[in-house]
Structure 1
Amino acid sequence: MAKRGKKPRKDCRIQDRAVEDNLVEFFRENEMLWNSQKTDYRNKARRQQIFKTKATELDIGVDHDFDK
């Protein structure tokens, strides 16, 4: 059986300081996106919708799978 290699990492660097600050504030306000102790964290559909809404607002892609 062939050994599976790691997937190459996606470049997730943020070049714009204002966008970076915006995202920091966004994650502070939406603790359910990253804190697994929150009950809402288990609602994957809700988390994905919040990410898609923010990505649309910032005009960036949402092709990263945050649950892996």
Structure 2
Amino acid sequence: TTTQNLTLYYSRIVIPKMKPVIKNTLYQLKNWNEQLKNTRITLNTLDSPLAPTVSNEYQAFTQLTNQAND
């Protein structure tokens, strides 16, 4: 069926092509996170409304990268 074909296409073509992008983005997020730690400023201490969003994005990319490495 079309759904099965799309699923096959996604897992065989899209995911491998996304791996470098995911890894690069994760690297950038980790680097940014380290810079925040080094300056002793965190999103929580700034009480930023973006804090939960950034945290969720970071966790999502971590999960995606772990899946990409499997």
The answer to which structure has the higher helix fraction is 2
Structure (1 or 2) with the larger CA radius of gyration: 2
> Normalized against structure 2, the TM-score is what?
0.31
Structure possessing the higher relative contact order (Cα contacts under 8 Å, 6 or more residues apart): 2
> Normalized against structure 1, the TM-score is what?
0.31
